[in-house]
A and B are shown apart, each in its own frame.
Chain A
Amino acid sequence: MELVILENAKKFYINGEISIPALRGINLSIESKRFISFVGPSGSGKTTLLNLVGCLDKPTEGKVFVAGTEINRMDRKTSAKFRGDNIGFIFQNFNLIPILTVYENVEYPLIMVQNIPAEKRKQRILDLLEKVGMTDQKDKYPAQLSGGQKQRVAVARALVTEPKLVLADEPTANLDHDTAYKVIGLMHNMKKEFNTTFIFATHDPKIVGEAEVIYTMEDGLITKIQENKKTGEVC
């Protein structure tokens, strides 16, 4: 089943009178329960593509479908709700909320986005924190955690709403080699456990090596698609 479909998706950024093309007509479809990587140099359009798929931005031309819904026509409120219900995000800078503890950061989408009752929240959060190995740190604040620990919490936060799709933009860029491997392994395990589709934009060969399909981008176009049979080595 196809989770993400892009039909001739184009994106231009207007800077004064100059129109800068970021995506120049992308056609692709991504099946669910996959581990996908977009690679390419800076400015190739990876992040723009992720923003379109994540309903954070709209294409200038073309269509984007996520989980069967065309996102082009959504207003702000609908697209926020859609993201909350269907998409998890992992950021390069972790983007944890500094005033909330580990537990509360993971709890945040359940309270503020999905309105899950307290009794149902607790077990789900504790299970997830155990899976990402952060149970012992649940009462700490982000400032008290290492980069790897922060990203583990970010993974838990992205998965706690049980999304169909998790988008990760350079998730290992700020992590050291060993930690990056552990985080990739964790995401791989989570993908298996929750049957969630992971889509990465990355330069990191470690992630690239783990992806089932690797899309190479250059100048706003997909120039190469590679199937990778040797995945899961880091798990």
Chain B
Amino acid sequence: MKNIIKIAWRNLLRYTRRSLLTSSMIAVGVALVIIFSGIGSSFKNEIIGVITNSNVGDIQIHKKGYVGSIDNLPLDITIPANGVKKIELLLNNNTEIKSYSERIRFGSMVSNFVQTTNMRLTAVYPKKESQTCPALVKRIKEGDSNSDTFVKPGSVVIPQNIAKGMNLKVGNDIVLIATNKDGSVNGMTFKISGISENIMGPQGKDGYIHIEDAKSMLRIEDGEITEIAIKLNNFNKLSKTYTILKNELMQIQGEKTGKPIFEIHTWEELVPFSTIAKIITLLIMVVRIVLFFIVLISILNVMMMSVYERIGEIGTIASIGTLPSKILALFLTEGISLGFFSAILGNIIGIIILMIINTAKFNFRFGDARTEFILSPQIPTTEVFLSIIFVVVISILASLQPAFKASRMEPVEALRHV
């Protein structure tokens, strides 16, 4: 095998310019996959991090039917107090759960005594919410951003766009008016304790109040809530933990109906960005497919030319007794070597470029969001190994036909070729 590799390598070097050109094309393709994968994954993870850590959490539990009407923030599809206790028991017994936060979400009118607008409110226990969505307090750019006290009873955190539109500042009073599930309209005066920046997603412009204030405002006396947001210790175990929790939750059934009374969703099912995340994954796949064709066509072209130019030589080695299998191995090794070393080169180029991007700390922001995203692509180790395997497999496929043709050549015909 050592000798086959040596001969294959020398044959590649025989046509240095052609081999270099092909190798460069493959290397650029591989480098693009690595760079795109590194940057794409970094971007995706960064945005997912912002969304899950700022307001959605990793998983959410609701009363069955709530998510179907989530745009209306219904107050009649709630988790009752005894249901909350059952869910808390499950969550406390699961070691993968880092924290959870009970919430009441509802729509309200906001008035500064001059103007009125509407706003979605999330009523929370500040400490539990900060543990579940640790990036939330970082979004509070003005006012109290203490993770334990960012909303106190009687205070409200409003989103930047409403503050700007209604010319509101920290310390100003506003009136929040909401309709409870019985249809009565109630209003309370709140002091603005903080102004939070907008982020991407439907929950990026929510205001926050203390959950006890929401209970007073909505006349909730029996401890019901609308959702529980959950933070996991390890985001990579999302799918597994979700499945376990789902199975456990399905055991909690209504006494009358005998059907599950809760529903559980991962962040992906709740946030439109999950579609963008899937598109990024799809784009990486498209780049891989482009690479597939680059490698396939390049190697096929080189190997076909190589066989055609060396027909006489194939005749010589066949006539002196080289077995067809060895001729096949010789040409296959040539194609595989070209693909393998090109993939290594492409990976080196890709990794160097990712390291440069990491060092340069490129940052960007979306729209009027203040949050800066720093492009810090990780070297996609799996992608590096997969790209090598991928290129080698395609190289084998591309070399197979020319190699097979070479091995099947009749020596007497090949020797006649000029």
Which of A's residues lie within 8 Å of B, judged by CB?
51, 54, 56-57, 76-77, 80-85, 87-89, 91, 93, 95, 97-100, 108-109, 111-114, 157-158, 161
Contact = CB atoms under 8 A, between A and B. Distances in A.
Contact of A56 (B14, B312, B325, B415): B415
Interface string B288-322: 00000000000000000000000011011111111
Interface residues of B, number: 25
Nearest to B312: A95
B319 A56 contact: yes
B411 interface: yes
A89 to B, nearest CB: 5
Interface in B211-270: none
Contact of B322 (A80, A91, A100, A158): A80
Contact of B320 (A76, A100, A113): A113
Contacts of B320: 83-84, 88-89, 108-109, 113, 157-158
A12 B183 CA distance: 103
Nearest to B330: A112
A109 B312 CA distance: 17
From DSSP, what is the main secondary structure of chain B's interface residues? helix
Interface of B: 3-4, 7, 10-11, 13-14, 312-313, 315-326, 410-412, 415
Nearest to A97: B313
Contacts of A77: 323-325
A37 to B, nearest CB: 20
Contact of A112 (B319, B326, B410): B326
B322 A51 contact: no
B11 A99 contact: yes
B215 to A, nearest CB: 85
Given A83-B321, A95-B415, A97-B313, 4 more contacts: A89-B316, A99-B13, A111-B3, A113-B322
A199 B78 CA distance: 100
B265 to A, nearest CB: 63
Contacts of B4: 112
A56 B411 contact: yes
A147 B311 CA distance: 21
Nearest to B329: A112
Contacts of B313: 95, 97-98
A158 B412 CA distance: 17
Of B13, B326, B411, most A-chain CB atoms within 10 Å: B411
A109 B415 CA distance: 17
5 closest cross-chain pairs (CB), A and B: A84-B321, A113-B321, A99-B10, A95-B316, A56-B412
A174 to B, nearest CB: 14
A112 B412 contact: no
Contacts of B324: 76-77, 80
A91 B321 contact: no
25 contacts: A56-B415, A76-B324, A80-B323, A84-B320, A84-B322, A84-B323, A85-B321, A87-B321, A88-B320, A89-B320, A91-B415, A93-B312, A95-B313, A98-B313, A99-B7, A99-B11, A99-B13, A100-B7, A109-B320, A112-B3, A112-B4, A112-B317, A112-B326, A113-B321, A161-B321
